[in-house]
Structure 1
Amino acid sequence: MIQLIPKYRSVLKSVKPVHKTAKIYNEESIGALQACLDCTDWGVFVDSCEDLEELNDVVNHYIQFCEDLTIPKKTITCYPNSKPWITRKLTDAVSRKNKAFRSGNKEELKEASKSINIIVKECKKNYKEKVERNIKTNTRAAWEGMKAMSGCRSKKVGIDVEGYPNKYANDLNKIYARFDVHNFKKETKNVLESIFEERDDECFRVCEKEVENEFRCIKLKKSCGPDGISAYVLKYCGKELCEIFAFMFNWSLKQHCLPKIWKTSDIIPIPKRTPVNELNDLRPVALTPIVTKCLKN
């Protein structure tokens, strides 16, 4: 009977920590990125490129280069038992307690334990006040905080791939593209020609102020597409980027075509239900470039 007693393992030991790389967008780094883009002569890019496809590719890589040059990165370790109210002050206090425990100093260990209890109460109080403030200003953040405090945070569901990942991806592509088998190019040719004949290109001019206002309305949580330009860059550097993007928008409207990257999407499979038993249990979510969505608006 003793061998049938279950052995308890804490979440910290049963689940491995996750290491994530995050970019630090603060006032200093954003100011450096804005200065880097503001001193850029976009005319050099326009004069050196022969077509819109090449210009868009060069501009995208240049923006990513400036972002990597000015925005610092840090590696974050997410433990399975971590709480949202834990701060650096609390982790430092826990480190001091562990150091006192290893040294065998009982007085220092006692003082460190008292300090941790005080800091824990302070951190919980500050997080509670933060959630209460968000109720009036940011209901989404308030709701996320309430779920974290009550312990009803949604569990992330992973996708277990059996066999070769490339074969699994190809099978998903066949499932998602099973309805896209007929080419409607002949049916739409006459319609497109009639539209191009009747349309006046002058009424589709895009000014820089419109592009800047559209960039400033971007939500920061919006995921970037295959072009790699994040919502933070477009929102905070809209004034510096509106000139070149307004030029590319007007060039695209004049030629009646879009760059290839603007029409490309990253398909992310999201589980409809758990567990995932078949390919049809995965819902395709298309992530298009944010610039394309701004042009449509």
Structure 2
Amino acid sequence: MDRMADSGKSRGGGVCVMVNNSWCNNANVVTLTRSCSPNLELLALKLRPFYLPREFTSVIINTVYIPPQANMDTALCELHEALTQFQTQHQDAALIVVGDFNSANLKRAVPNLYQHVTFPTRGNRTLDHCYTPYKDSYKALAHPPFGKSDHAAIFLLPKYKQRLKREAPVQREVARWTDQSVAALQDALDDADWDMFRHSTDDVSEFTEVVVGFIGKLVDDTIPRITIKKFSNQKPWVDRTICEALNSRTAAYNAGIISGNMDEYKSAAYNVRRAVREAKWHYGKKLETQFQQSGSRSPWQGLWMITDYRSPPSGLMSADESLANELNIFFAHFEATSSSANANSANANGASANSASPNGTIGAANGTCAGPTIEQRPLIIMESDLRRVFKRVNTRKAMGPDGICGRVLKACADQLAPVFTDIFNLSLTLGIVPSSFKRSTIVPVP
């Protein structure tokens, strides 16, 4: 791109990009922008080389020239707007910004870029820069200048390692919840003799632990589990249909090499492209649906998926026994204050009632009888209420300390409601929370 009349310069300037045909041909080179102003000359190209790491869809090369007499703040502002537009339109493209910046520093406008040229390129000053969003992606080497140029030539040796090689694949086991496996689990829970566990012990914690362990054993025996391997460069829209289409294409290619007939391979390759288009379309509709739904959870999930946000792993907080003592003293203070206040109020009410009633019975003067107050009535959980709560469990939430996932409670609500009703009522009667329902146990100091 030669200088234009809008640049206001009669000499100097002009930028160009030369592409090796063995790396990328002309059919895969697209010009994104040509900008020439008194402060900035910019030529941006989008290239699709023959080989790219899977995490990149293309390469955007921005060739920049900022004259020495230019307004550096204005030039950086124009360049920042262009780079922001490219990154928004091509989120998975590799961004490279090279050129003669003179005294400008692009990191002032785009702090997330890294500068890879660390040696002087003209005299004792570093005027030529190379910026990318990836740390340690290039190693710059100084070479003699071209022709009569007074700038040193820079050879950029790639140091970037693919994400697939930098990060190991993650393997995790997931349960396959099918109609057959859920029906088998329901039948196993129907045949369970809960009375045997109920009569075997009088300790509610032991009773709960046995029931929870038995349910977990049935789930492990009836629900099949598979191992899923997720690679670090895997796209979020990749699903099972794409994997099956890729395997079919590979098998068709191997068969075509042996037989010499590649028609089946061409058909399989078309099926792969069609599966990718459909998967991307369904993924886009899923994101649109999350933004259209009510509630704050769906929009945040959509933003996390778009920005590829991964929340840091959370773990249990470990603390020494002093924390338990501090919590015990803190809450016992309020309990003692509340108990003393209730006792003083009861004594005052009793004194006034005794003075008003000649026989010393509360409510005897107006003909009412004393009975148990609301606080004295035992709280009883009904089986129908618990069944209704189990059927409304959100299966997307994590399991509790008991280790029973929400899908088991929701799918087997009719089978689990009776035994858990007995556990909850027994816990309320004894005033003891089973240890299986607690993440930590704090023992008060006597």
Structure 1 and Structure 2 fold alike (TM over 0.5): yes
| Structure 1 match to 2:309 | 154
Paired amino acid for 1:177: L
Is the contact made by 1:100 and 1:106 (CA closer than 8 Å) also made in structure 2? no
Deviates more, 1:13-22 or 1:199-208: 199-208
Following the alignment from structure 2 to structure 1, what is the Cα–Cα distance between the partners of residues 267 and 439? 59
SS in 1 for 2:273: helix
Paired amino acid for 1:94: L
Following the alignment from structure 1 to structure 2, what is the Cα–Cα distance between the partners of residues 256 and 250? 10
| Structure 1 match to 2:157 | 5
The partner residue of 2:244 within 88, 92, 108 is 92
Cα deviation digits, residues 88-131 of structure 1 (max 9, x gap) = 23213323444555674683554443332222112222333444
Residues 52 and 190 from structure 1, CA distance in 2 versus in 1: closer, same or farther, beyond 3 angstroms?
farther
Following the alignment from structure 1 to structure 2, what is the Cα–Cα distance between the partners of residues 181 and 202? 29
Residues 74 and 34 from structure 1, CA distance in 2 versus in 1: closer, same or farther, beyond 3 angstroms?
same
- Larger gyration radius, structure 1 or structure 2: 2
More strand, by proportion: 2
Following the alignment from structure 2 to structure 1, what is the Cα–Cα distance between the partners of residues 427 and 313? 40
| Structure 2 match to 1:246 | 421
Paired amino acid for 1:180: E
SS in 2 for 1:75: strand
Is the contact made by 1:215 and 1:235 (CA closer than 8 Å) also made in structure 2? yes
Equivalent runs, 1:170-209 vs 2, <5 Å: 172-174=318-320, 177=323, 180=326, 183=329, 187=333, 188=335, 202-209=377-384
Paired amino acid for 2:158: P
The count of residues paired between Structure 1 and Structure 2 equals: 254
| Structure 2 match to 1:38 | 190
Paired amino acid for 1:81: N
| Structure 1 match to 2:208 | 56
Following the alignment from structure 2 to structure 1, what is the Cα–Cα distance between the partners of residues 209 and 405? 15
Following the alignment from structure 2 to structure 1, what is the Cα–Cα distance between the partners of residues 230 and 179? 25
Residues 121 and 169 from structure 1, CA distance in 2 versus in 1: closer, same or farther, beyond 3 angstroms?
closer
Following the alignment from structure 1 to structure 2, what is the Cα–Cα distance between the partners of residues 200 and 181? 26
SS in 1 for 2:277: helix
| Structure 2 match to 1:237 | 412
Cα deviation digits, residues 156-189 of structure 1 (max 9, x gap) = 4469xxxxxxxx989x525993983663586436
Residue 120 of structure 1 pairs with residue 240 of structure 2 = no
Deviates more, 1:120-129 or 1:91-100: 91-100
What are the ranges of 5 or more consecutive residues in structure 1 without an aligned counterpart? 160-167, 267-297
SS in 2 for 1:5: strand
Is the contact made by 2:401 and 2:438 (CA closer than 8 Å) also made in structure 1? no
Q: Does 1 or 2 have the higher relative contact order (CA < 8 Å, sep 6+)?
A: 1
Residue 213 of structure 1 pairs with residue 374 of structure 2 = no
Is the contact made by 2:290 and 2:302 (CA closer than 8 Å) also made in structure 1? no
Following TM superposition, by how much is the alpha carbon of 1:244 offset from its aligned partner in structure 2, in angstroms? 0.9
Give the alignment's TM-score, normalised by structure 2: 0.49
SS in 2 for 1:55: helix
Following the alignment from structure 1 to structure 2, what is the Cα–Cα distance between the partners of residues 100 and 13? 28
Identity score, percent: 28
Paired amino acid for 1:224: M
SS in 1 for 2:165: helix
SS in 2 for 1:86: coil
Following TM superposition, by how much is the alpha carbon of 1:48 offset from its aligned partner in structure 2, in angstroms? 1.2
The root-mean-square deviation of aligned C-alpha atoms, in Å, is 3.7
SS in 1 for 2:228: strand
Give the alignment's TM-score, normalised by structure 1: 0.70
Following TM superposition, by how much is the alpha carbon of 1:85 offset from its aligned partner in structure 2, in angstroms? 2.4
